[in-house]
Amino acid sequence: MATLSEIQALLGEPRFNWSDPAPWIGLERELGIEFPADFHEIVDAYGSVSINGQLYLKHPAGHLLHDLGTMIKRELEFWGEEDMAEFLPNPAGTKPGELVPVATATTGEMIFLRIPEETSSPWRVVVQEMDSPSWTLYEMTFGEWLLAYLKGRDVTLCVRDRAPDGPFYEFLP
């Protein structure tokens, strides 16, 4: 499993370093799920950021414009529409086997976490490309997927043209 230290080695030292669990507890209670530990750890470290000017991560303690909970609820409503459901391998939602939207990209992709059917199974990443429209399942945790992205591997999002001098991040305004 990818560790935060491996991500930091490529992306740089985090400056958000959130430690209050209250926003996560509230969001998880509202959605009826518990996000995977690696996703928590990464988002708590970096906060609401743009990575390589392409990938947007949001924290549940962000202000309304960059709040993870607000984004998830809006996207669940969008992807729950009958004409959009056909573009995903599983329904968007918060039940086992369903897909929770957790990040977006300026290049038109939506990054989902697939809730495992069994609590002992790992969460997986699904990336949906709006311009195709197609999707790809990655048998990786969120941390492993993000690390692959930062290393320039093809995980649907391409970093090479966005960060020719190496990965970077900046806080969302």
Contact residues for 166 (Cβ-Cβ < 8 A; gap 6+): 10
What are 23-28's contacts with CB under 8 Å, separation 24+? Answer: 23/59, 23/60, 23/61, 23/69, 24/60, 26/60, 26/69, 27/60, 27/68, 27/69, 27/72
Tell me the pLDDT band of 2, cut-offs 50, 70 and 90: low
Please state which of the ranges 8-22, 26-40, 62-76, 137-151 shows the lowest mean pLDDT.
62-76
Q: What is the CATH number of domain 4-153?
A: 3.40.1580.10
Residue-wise pLDDT for 80-101, tens only, equals 988 888 899 999 999 999 999 9
pLDDT number for residue 159: 63
Where in the chain are the domains?
4-153
Asked if the model's pLDDT at residue 24 lies above 80, the reply is yes
CB 101 within 8 A of CB 92: yes
What is the pLDDT averaged over residues 76-80? Answer: 93
How far is 120 from 129, CA to CA, in rounded Å?
Answer: 29
How far is 82 from 7, CA to CA, in rounded Å?
Answer: 37
